[in-house]
Structure 1
Amino acid sequence: MFKDIQKKLLLKYPLLWNTKFVPLLAIGLLLHFIFFGLGYMDGTIDFSNRKNINIGTFSIMIGVLSVIIIFILWLINYFKNNALKSFYITSKYSLFFEWMQIFVICFFLVTFYIPFSVGKQFHQKSYFSFAEIKERCKIISTADLFIDGSFRQTEIDSLASGLIDSLGNTIKDEQSNNSNKNKPDYYAERVTAAYHYKDHVIFNGKKYDQFSLLNRNTFEFSVINKEEDSMNKLQVYNWLQNQNVDEIKKLMATYMSLIREHDLATNFDATKWLEITYKAPNFKDFLYIQPYLKAYETNNSYRYNDYEAIVPMKGEEKKYSQYYVQQDILKDKYDLVSNAHTNAFIDLEMLLSFLYGAFGISLLLFSFRVTSGKSWLIAVVFTGVINVVYVIFTAISGFGTLYFYLILVTILAILFYFFLIYFNKKSIQLSRIALNLSLWSYSAIIPILYFLVMEANKPDYYRFSEYEYYESPFYYWLKDNVTEMFLVNIIISISILFFSSKLLRNWRGIAAN
């Protein structure tokens, strides 16, 4: 079938025939379909944790190897015929259309990981609907308060707060008079050392110990936003303070049903759980529950299934009881489903990285096609040597941005040299190397300028005020819009290539001597 299609393309669309666009596009789509299936398999979640399907690394290795083989076979056939070298009559934008076909082929071949990632997330998302996973995560999250949730930091003591204000004024005076003004870490350490936190919390007008259940955190899932998470936590706090035992029993019973549903291990039931953790009215002298299946003591530190125990807060004696439940597995598995519901299927940064990868490979192939193998190889060697030299100069000078300034000047000089030869109609031999280098580097001008402007607006000192560090608002704006800059840059780069394709076609007509 492909042979018949290629014959028709040879007669009507020789450019498509030469690039082998149709068969390569079909192979790329097949590759995407296969890796979507592999990703779907990799997205299998075993909530009991008895067996895990993890074929991600193997799939990526197979994908890379397959793409390399396909590339080699394609290039062997693609480079057999060259309309430019044969002075075949082409349209003024034919070079751009040829590059675009190369770019699309490269993009479909190098992006096999995208359908793999989409397939994996699609499978993970399919286990529960959004409403169901949100309700289940709420149960697991709030139940963590009675298992092994961390404790919130208490408020700063009022006496310590006054001392810190005094210290802040002293530090400001020192900043204006000594060399430490460029050392924000030095001041941060001094302020932190002065902090003194209360040993209790106040909830609804009542005082509780800092290590009581009414100061414990819940586990955060992405399907539950910050406001909802706080409301869920306050709801449990109110149950405890009002001694609403029925609601707590209901929460524990529902949680235990999830443990049984997924066949996870525990050595207590909801009744025993309530007995060992519900210690009204202070809710302090409860038993710590091991959130893992097994625990053993080694050198007075606790480890659970190769997980380190959470480091206790200062003053907290965290000693676990004999009771355990596989909360770690439950949180880990449901976190996967939660993230699958909230994460985008295709991340913009990841898509841009593949776009730039395909763009770079396509320009390497296109420049080889337009110029010659010898000039292409010389350009590669020159690029390697000049980068090594610039890195050495930058290291010796100690000026971190010198490398980028040198690269920018070099790119502009190469572009100037190429256009000088082109407009003066000098020998084409003199400009082949410059053309290769120009095609590889022109798209780097905007990013280099962008980061140099960022560096120029980055403050060389930090202003200490109210114990925070401040930077230039324009610097922050540039920093927050790096992704958008790369998106705009690739659009501009493709547009430049479109308008310069006629120039490249005319460049081929310059005499060789």
Structure 2
Amino acid sequence: MQKINKINQYLLEKYPTVWNTKIVWMLLAALFFHIVFFIIGYLSHIDPVSLQKYSVRDDYFRNGVIFIHLIISVLLVVGWLLMMFKNNGFKNFYPSSKGKLFGQFVQYFIIIFSCTTFYFSYMVGFRMFINNKYPDSEMAKNIDIVNRTAPFLSQNIESYTLENRLFPKIFSDLYCENDIEKIDRNKKFFVYYNRIYQYNSVYSKKSFRKNKAGDFIPNEPEYSEKIEPAYSETDIERKYSIFYFKKEVVDLSAYIKTTQPSFYNFSEVFYDYDFTGYNDGALENNYYDKNSPDYTLKNQKAFINKTTTELLNRKKPAELEKLFSDFLSISKKYRIKNNLDAKKWTSLIYSKDNPNFEIRYFIKDFVPSSRFEDEPYYESTVAVDSVAASYNGDGVQDSVKLRIFNPEINRQIAPDKYVKNNTTDYYYVSESMKDLLKNVDSMKQDDFFSENIHIYIWIAFFLSTFIFSFRITGLRSLLFSVISAGVLMLLVTLITVFYGLTFRGQEEFFVSYFVLFIGLIILLIPLLKMDMVNKTVSSVLVNISMNCFVLLIFLIFIIITIHQKAECADTITNIDYDYPYDDCNSIIEYLSFTLSYIILILGFIFMYFYTAVLQKWKAMPE
């Protein structure tokens, strides 16, 4: 205690402003709690099961840590205010220069910011744990094993049907038509129960033309001749679109040994952080989901298909068993729920009477005891398309068409029943593995700082201006200022409503300029004509100016944005949609989060120069 008193005495003699704000002790207290939250973050997800859910980044808010954060922050700020308010040099006419006043405000900001940002310490600890526990080299190796093993989990029959196949390369280059209305019966097609497949070569044409709705349309002569594109790709900036049209049917009988669901057809990427959105490429797909024209993803799918095919063609059960053993070891380490055995799993795949590796078993994707006993598994894994629904009685005409393509359909087993009959007692919760991998990568790569820092910056800034206002003008003036601001808001709202009912139209322009006009009057009176009002009224104007200046700056950017949007709308109305145009972005959209920092810097600059106004106000007679 004696040491603390000595430090306080030293600060009082050498740095009275620092002593007055108690910033040294507050930063030490904040540092202690930042270390505590760092440790909490580091230890919060030691159990891999805690990573097996959607977006663990939000656990800070879901698990109640945020409430501990708020309680500690409130106690720190309130305790600091109680200590600081014992000494108010400005109120008691101690000499205070502009620099000292502004220095106090900056110290308020630093103290509040340090006492409210424990979230970042938690996340830094969390990220450090993830980096140490799940190093990149190990995760890359594990993800490769998981992706090579995933084809053999056979948890969804739709992943093994013929339209998924991308290897050999000819499958990737062709378009697989599976719409029964568009199949050419006079040329080679393939049938699996109620699914019809026909492969076509395609040609492409780039188009910049748009219709009046702003949608891209094909060039001539396809547009005039009403030739429907097989699928299209639109530039992510919407400057052009590439349309693909069917050319001729290609017979792939030499490659297709069976039309039944087969391991040879699997081409999905179980996990890749870059493909979690499945639309991150330069072009977005409008028509054709199975053969996604996001070529980076499509090449990854083709690689999985190629790897699986080559592994099956080698016909070495020992190699497959080794892969399964490695996969299950990873699953055990990450505590993924399953009851698989590498040897028995391998025996399900290799069979002398199954040379085409058709799907003969299905693995549950959930722990059976966690669901109702009478819940049919196949309903959650098999999608019934419109063709199947038609055959089941929704359309007699469609069922007749199906019999034309597949006369044996009545003697064949439907996909949903096939899944139900061949579902084993084995299970593997694959979603848990996906969630874990995604959460690990998310914690390593996502920028949680830039996304959240603005909230804490502005909490600290507005609290600082509010406390600074209290220190300068006192509680009475501050309460009058709050009431006055509320009355002004009500007045603006009523006038805006009256304007909207009377004139109807462009209310956003009216209210924006009206608020700007009022704000400028409040700001300019203390700057230019402080003597024209008494000290109490001027204190209200001073407090509103200090607390709302940054909002006034933001309002100016809003007004600029409104004008840009209006001009853009007029431009779009008058353009010819057969030609491309660039969408116009507003200044707020262009600056994005940078605008927050710009306004913050302007706010600090304003507070520095406004301290002269505060000194002038203090010199006014009571």
TM range (shorter): 0.7 to 0.9
Question: Counterpart in 2 of 1:419?
Answer: 527
Distance 1:33 1:325 in 2: 39
With normalisation by structure 2, the TM-score equals 0.65
SS class of match (1:507): helix
Please say if 1:133 is aligned against 2:139.
Answer: yes
Which stretches in structure 2 are left out of the alignment for 5+ residues? 165-173, 184-199, 216-227, 232-245, 281-294, 389-414
Contact 1:38 1:59 in 2 (8 A): no
Distance 1:410 1:203 in 2: 75
**Residues 297 and 155 of structure 1, relative CA distance in 2, 3 Å threshold:** farther
Please say if 1:289 is aligned against 2:363.
Answer: yes
Please state how far the C-alpha of 1:240 moved relative to its aligned partner: 3.8
Distance 2:507 2:374 in 1: 46
SS class of match (1:108): helix
Distance 1:504 1:219 in 2: 64
**Residues 412 and 256 of structure 1, relative CA distance in 2, 3 Å threshold:** same
Distance 2:254 2:538 in 1: 81
- 1:100 is matched with which residue: 98, 106, 114? 106
Summarize the alignment of residues 17-166 of structure 1 with structure 2, pairs less than 5 Å apart. 17-47=19-49, 57-147=63-153, 148=155
Contact 1:25 1:105 in 2 (8 A): yes
The residue type equivalent to 1:289 in the other structure is I
Deviations along 1:147-194, one digit per CA (max 9) or x if unpaired, are 3477599958697999xx9xx99x93xx4xxxxx69x8xxxxxxxxx9
- 2:458 is matched with which residue: 356, 362, 365? 356
- 2:273 is matched with which residue: 207, 219, 222? 222
**Residues 261 and 42 of structure 1, relative CA distance in 2, 3 Å threshold:** closer
Summarize the alignment of residues 385-400 of structure 1 with structure 2, pairs less than 5 Å apart. 385-391=487-493, 397=500
Contact 2:261 2:359 in 1 (8 A): no
Distance 1:314 1:504 in 2: 74
The residue type equivalent to 1:255 in the other structure is F
Please say if 1:433 is aligned against 2:540.
Answer: yes
**Residues 418 and 248 of structure 1, relative CA distance in 2, 3 Å threshold:** farther
Summarize the alignment of residues 330-369 of structure 1 with structure 2, pairs less than 5 Å apart. 330-344=433-447, 346-369=448-471
Please say if 1:233 is aligned against 2:301.
Answer: yes
The residue type equivalent to 1:510 in the other structure is M
Distance 1:380 1:389 in 2: 14
The residue type equivalent to 1:352 in the other structure is H
**Residues 116 and 145 of structure 1, relative CA distance in 2, 3 Å threshold:** same
Distance 1:395 1:272 in 2: 74
The residue type equivalent to 1:486 in the other structure is S
Contact 1:367 1:436 in 2 (8 A): yes
Distance 1:478 1:201 in 2: 52
Contact 1:93 1:502 in 2 (8 A): no
Question: Counterpart in 2 of 1:187?
Answer: none
**Residues 201 and 484 of structure 1, relative CA distance in 2, 3 Å threshold:** farther
Distance 2:336 2:102 in 1: 60
Distance 1:300 1:195 in 2: 41
Distance 1:116 1:7 in 2: 35
SS class of match (2:90): coil
Distance 1:202 1:256 in 2: 40
SS class of match (2:98): coil
The residue type equivalent to 2:558 in the other structure is F
Sequence identity (%)? 22
Name the Cα RMSD after superposition: 4.4
**Residues 387 and 120 of structure 1, relative CA distance in 2, 3 Å threshold:** farther
Question: Counterpart in 2 of 1:381?
Answer: 483
Summarize the alignment of residues 263-274 of structure 1 with structure 2, pairs less than 5 Å apart. 263-274=335-346
Summarize the alignment of residues 245-324 of structure 1 with structure 2, pairs less than 5 Å apart. 245-246=315-316, 250-274=322-346, 276=348, 285=359, 287-294=361-368, 296=371, 302=377, 319=419, 321-322=423-424, 323-324=426-427
Please say if 1:326 is aligned against 2:436.
Answer: no
Distance 1:206 1:435 in 2: 82
SS class of match (1:474): coil
The residue type equivalent to 2:328 in the other structure is M
Deviations along 1:27-86, one digit per CA (max 9) or x if unpaired, are 11111111111111213233498999x776332212211221222222122122222222
- 2:585 is matched with which residue: 474, 478, 482? 474
Please state how far the C-alpha of 1:127 moved relative to its aligned partner: 0.8
SS class of match (1:43): coil
Question: Counterpart in 2 of 1:190?
Answer: none
Question: Counterpart in 2 of 1:189?
Answer: none
Deviations along 1:282-337, one digit per CA (max 9) or x if unpaired, are 76645443222227468876599xxx769676668564623311222222223222
Contact 1:297 1:303 in 2 (8 A): no
Question: Counterpart in 2 of 1:443?
Answer: 550
With normalisation by structure 1, the TM-score equals 0.78
Which stretches in structure 1 are left out of the alignment for 5+ residues? 176-180, 185-193
Structure having the higher Rg: 2
